């Protein structure tokens, strides 16, 4: 990251922290909170897909596992919602470790098939174990987050807004630190030339296992927060439409850039929400997102973050 990019990211964070001062209605804050959740999932997916080049199409399964972990623990075991959210990250990491073992030594289309099948397997388990998961109807009326007598649903979801922003900020910082660490450099080597990386002593299988687990932790936490915030756990979180939307955020923002998917998630969440209220675009909004993805990748294969970077580094005319 250049100095200008760091400064731009810091300014964006400050502006997001100040948004609730200007935006006081509950609905707009709700859209921001959902955008923060999707951005967290996208930035973690970018670690495995963009930085490591691992075509993990089961990433949304980690999100869904976090959702149902929080829901089951709070409804069946009466666990604190705060602990349930953290537990979502743990179970997602364990699931990532489970799927990483067979994926570690696979190549190409086989990785796509196995990870996609894993996501479908999770969906079928949720649907078949109705006594625990609620089946197709899901689980509802999950407990609110609260501190003492203060329930976070008050004050037009102000507290939920900042919890979502904190989760996104910490997750993004963690991914940036990973990306610029020796481990991150080894992931790029595995992505660009796995044979050369192996010849230099890098264990391709081990790096794939580690990156899948690392990308699952905050994804599961985001899933847990999603369930507690909406007070619902539904099989739709394993759906293809959600996966397509989050993947579009990664690709439009810029795969491997970490920050790109964050900005793309904010833009696409508000765009799709706006189109949902327009007659004729309710169902076509995902087609519009797909067309936008094609156009952005045609103009800048590295994503919108590359276009933004060019504008920041454009030399001034004397």
Is residue 132 within 8 A of residue 72, CB to CB? The reply is yes
pLDDT recorded at residue 307: 73
245 exposure class (CB count in 10 Å sphere: 0-12, 13-18, 19+): buried
Q: Quick check: 4 pLDDT over 80? A: no
Q: What is the pLDDT of residues 92-137, one digit of tens each?
A: 999 999 998 888 888 878 888 999 999 999 999 999 999 999 999 9
Provide the 8-state DSSP code for 168.
H
Percent with pLDDT over 90 in the chain:
59
pLDDT tens string 210-253:
999 999 999 999 999 999 999 999 999 998 888 888 999 999 98
Tokens of 4: 């200008």
Structure tokens at 109: 């289309």
Question: Which pLDDT score is estimated for 318?
Answer: 46
How much is the average pLDDT of 183-207? 89
List, in sequence order, every beta strand (DSSP E) within the chain: 139-140, 146-147, 150-151, 232-233
Residue 197 clears pLDDT 80, i.e. is over it: yes
């Amino acid at each position: 990251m250049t100095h200008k990019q760091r400064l731009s990211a810091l300014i964006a964070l400050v502006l997001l922290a100040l948004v609730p001062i200007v935006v006081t209605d509950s609905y707009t804050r709700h859209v921001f909170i959902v955008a923060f959740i999707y951005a967290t999932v996208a930035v973690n997916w970018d670690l495995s897909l963009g930085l490591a080049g691992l075509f993990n199409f089961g990433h949304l399964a980690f999100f869904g596992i976090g959702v149902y972990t929080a829901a089951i623990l709070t409804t069946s075991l009466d666990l604190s919602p705060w602990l349930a959210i953290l537990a979502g990250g743990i179970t997602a990491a364990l699931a990532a470790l489970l799927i990483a073992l067979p994926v570690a030594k696979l190549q190409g289309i086989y990785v796509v098939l196995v990870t996609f099948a894993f996501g479908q397997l999770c969906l079928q388990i949720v649907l078949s174990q109705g006594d625990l998961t609620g089946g197709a109807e899901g689980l509802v009326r999950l407990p609110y987050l609260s501190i003492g007598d203060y329930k976070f649903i008050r004050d037009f979801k102000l507290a939920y807004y900042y919890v979502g922003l904190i989760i996104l900020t910490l997750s993004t910082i963690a991914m940036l630190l990973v990306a610029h660490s020796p481990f991150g450099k080894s992931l790029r080597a595995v992505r660009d030339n796995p044979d050369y990386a192996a010849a230099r002593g890098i264990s391709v299988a081990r790096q794939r296992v580690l990156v899948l687990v690392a990308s699952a932790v905050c994804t599961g936490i985001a899933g847990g927060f999603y369930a507690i915030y909406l007070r619902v756990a539904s099989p739709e979180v394993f759906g293809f439409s959600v996966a397509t939307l989050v993947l579009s955020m990664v690709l439009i923002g810029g795969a491997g850039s970490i920050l790109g998917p964050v900005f793309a998630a904010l833009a696409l969440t508000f765009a799709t929400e706006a189109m949902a209220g327009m007659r004729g675009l309710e169902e076509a909004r995902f087609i519009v997102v797909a067309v936008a993805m094609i156009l952005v990748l045609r103009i800048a294969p590295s994503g919108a973050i590359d276009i933004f970077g060019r504008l920041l580094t454009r030399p001034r005319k004397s």
